[in-house]
Amino acid sequence: MVAVSLQRALLFAGAFARLSTAQTADPTIVTEDGAVVVADETTVAPAAEVVEIPDATEPEVLLLTNAVLANLTAHDLSDIDLFTFDEDLEAVEVTVKRDGLSKRNFRVGDCKVFPGDGGWPSRLTWKVFDLLTGGALIETVPIGAVCYPNSGVYNAAKCDNVLANWAQSSLHAADPTSVMSPIYQGETCMPQNGQSGQCALGGFPSYSVKAKSVYQIQLAVNFARNKNIRLVVHNTGHDFLGKSTGAGALSIWTHNLKDIRYVKSYSTPSYSGPVMKLGAGVQVGELYAAADKNGVTAVGGECPGVGVAGGYSAGGGHSPMSSKLGLGSDQILSIDVVLPNGRFVTASETQNKDLFWALRGGGGGTFGVVTSITVKVYPKMKFSGFTFTVLTGPDTPNSDEIFWNAMFAYWRKFPEYTAKGVYGYSMVFPRGAPGSGYVWTFNPFMVPGMSLSEFKTMVGPLLTEWTSIGLQYTPEYFEVDNFYSMWTKYFPVESVANSNMRTASRMFPDTVWANTTERDALFQEVRNIVAEGSALIQYNMNPAKREGVPDSGANTHWRNAQWFAIMGAGWAPGISTEELAANNNKITHDWMARLKAWGPGGYGNEGDVMEVNFGDAFFGTNYPRLLQIKRQIDPNDLFWAPTAVGSERWKVQGQPDWLTQQTGKLCKVSN
């Protein structure tokens, strides 16, 4: 399909005779015989060949290989090094040596190359890189730039569209670089400020590769590694910690890898049954629709836009199915991935086993670029539950005491409910100023595989208690015979991209409920923190590891969790730096600190970027082994993201100690 022709290869190879010395901004190539030609599609072809791989999806058959590189290096020109694999990391079967870490020396004080630095690629180099990727390179234009009259791309109609859809995740997911937690990008080109301000790149990457085939990812990995450019992996931009953006980076955009394949019978040493193979860009809603079409139930998150094979399952992934089926990452049977050395491999129970262990829960943007995952799917089943919304406060029948007593009664039952497979998802937001009450919404409280009459029997004692406490509420019950219609009808579509806010999270284990004194003290502490202004987005679920699921690097704190709580707050725009620091410090060093005695774990995908001792909180007892695997396969930290495994030895420059944004140069810390 796409191969490098001899003639093009000659021209291309010639290009590298001059690439490293080319100071001109003119994207021309000097060929072997001294002729000057423009670098374009007729002179440089995509660097890929078709490779036969069993079970591969369409994008996975176009690869960068030694043979492709050999064609490009036929004339022994050294600058082709820009795109070569890392020979020191050539081991195809990655097996971690328990005793040794990196064989390379870790030099203190180095930084990734930054725009404006001498080592930053010339315009010609970027152009040739673009041509080798088949024209997949995109120079970043921030999503908000269309709202800035002096940006050069001002467009009133497009700006209106961006503003009108700003809170919808689909707007951001369709853009190569937009992120749904703009705080980490530095909010330097918010469309809302278009009329008055300047649009700057801030923490956005310099370039993205719009990946549609694996060879493009391999080229980007090799190029970034060989040129010491910061590398970012970006899928939908849902990340809550700024992990899918970074100043001065080359970003690999995986959103367009959309293949979905259903396979009725598939077997591995631990499983035999139906599976789905999902490209890296498949989103939760697409997975659920495809599962429904094939008459099966899949495990994913609650929000339609989250990337299933991206950050979601890389970070563990909790699901409406979690109390029955465990984490999203527990469903994975096989993973295709481009490693830091540029090679494309499969990790499974039978090959690259350490990597297979680490990639299931060890975090996104850390061990390589996942191109697809193969996951278990389950028979169609019924779902029962209810939703309701209650208002509390002085102007309602639900006083503060009634509300909190009802909440405590509910929390007391958590272990009993998860044992029955419950997924209880509800949110508590302040209605206004302190004292004005709350809005408490269930969306939903439900159990997979349970009939409505069984569900009513299960919740009966709680509802009796609520009535005697005096809670006034009107539940809407449901029973449906499949996941998809339950999910489309009873789950909310969440709004995103709020500015001036931050979230953090804790997981509370079953041991809390073993001692009623400690349990009640926790309940009171959560109540106090909510009264101090925190939101509470809570999940009653227990993603224990089911029998037969191979061990994985997923956060061990998940396994006995009964209650997962996301907390956090916002602040008014334009407040002073001191007030900003106080607001941010309150979340990390006051609220989260107070809850850590009960819940040492937090969820790295929905966690606090400033989490103290994040290794233990986000990965539990798996952290040391994850770190060892990271050092083995990526000894020089090509992949880096805030709070990712091994991220401790780098820092984004110019950050206060109360918030890490992605707006500066990335440098090693000296220790």
Ligand X SMILES: Cc1cc2nc3c(=O)[nH]c(=O)nc-3n(C[C@H](O)[C@H](O)[C@H](O)COP(=O)(O)OP(=O)(O)OC[C@H]3O[C@@H](n4cnc5c(N)ncnc54)[C@H](O)[C@@H]3O)c2cc1C
Positions in the binding site for ligand X (CB under 6 A): 180, 233-240, 243-244, 254, 280, 301-303, 306-307, 310-312, 314-315, 317-318, 364-365, 369-370, 494, 496, 605-606, 641
Among 195, 196, 265, 517, binds ligand NAG (CB under 6 A): 517
Distance of CA 597 to the CA centre of its chain: 27
Give me the least distance between CB of 508 and ligand NAG, in Å please: 15
375: exposed, middle or buried (Cβ count in 10 Å: 0-12, 13-18, 19+): buried
* Residue 234 binding partner per list ligand NAG, ligand X, none, with a CB distance cut-off of 5 to 8 Å that depends on partner kind: ligand X
**Backbone phi, psi, residue 461, to 5°:** -60, -40
529 near ligand NAG, judged by CB under 6 A: no
* Residue 238 binding partner per list ligand NAG, ligand X, none, with a CB distance cut-off of 5 to 8 Å that depends on partner kind: ligand X
217 near ligand NAG, judged by CB under 6 A: no
Distance of CA 550 to the CA centre of its chain: 22
Give me the least distance between CB of 510 and ligand X, in Å please: 20
* Residue 576 binding partner per list ligand X, ligand NAG, none, with a CB distance cut-off of 5 to 8 Å that depends on partner kind: none
4 near ligand NAG, judged by CB under 6 A: yes
632 near ligand NAG, judged by CB under 6 A: no
Residue 69 or residue 507: which is nearer to ligand NAG going by CB? 69
Residue 9 or residue 201: which is nearer to ligand NAG going by CB? 9
b (16+ CB within 10 A) / e for 470-491: ebebebeebbbebbbebbeebb
6 near ligand NAG, judged by CB under 6 A: yes
Applying the rule CB under 6 A, the residues between 54 and 113 that interact with ligand NAG are 67-68, 71
**Backbone phi, psi, residue 229, to 5°:** -90, 140
Among 518, 545, 570, 571, binds ligand NAG (CB under 6 A): 518
Q: How far apart are the C-alpha atoms of 387 and 444, rounded to whole Å?
A: 5
Residue 4 or residue 337: which is nearer to ligand NAG going by CB? 4
Give me the least distance between CB of 71 and ligand NAG, in Å please: 4
**Backbone phi, psi, residue 5, to 5°:** -75, 160
Residue 257: name the closest of 288, 236, 280, 287 by CA: 280
Q: Which residue has the tokens 């490693």?
A: 339
Residue 352 or residue 560: which is nearer to ligand NAG going by CB? 560
* Residue 361 binding partner per list ligand X, ligand NAG, none, with a CB distance cut-off of 5 to 8 Å that depends on partner kind: none
8 A C-beta contact, residue 313 and residue 330: no
Applying the rule CB under 6 A, the residues between 41 and 60 that interact with ligand NAG are 49
8 A C-beta contact, residue 358 and residue 314: no
> Cα–Cα distances in Å, from 46 out to 225, 384, 504?
19, 52, 43
Q: How far apart are the C-alpha atoms of 34 and 15, rounded to whole Å?
A: 10
Give me the least distance between CB of 9 and ligand NAG, in Å please: 6
Residue 310 or residue 635: which is nearer to ligand X going by CB? 310
Q: How far apart are the C-alpha atoms of 308 and 575, rounded to whole Å?
A: 37
Q: How far apart are the C-alpha atoms of 624 and 631, rounded to whole Å?
A: 11
Residue 598 or residue 603: which is nearer to ligand X going by CB? 603
Q: What does the binding site for ligand NAG look like in residue numbers (CB under 6 A)?
A: 3-6, 9, 49, 67-68, 71, 515, 517-518
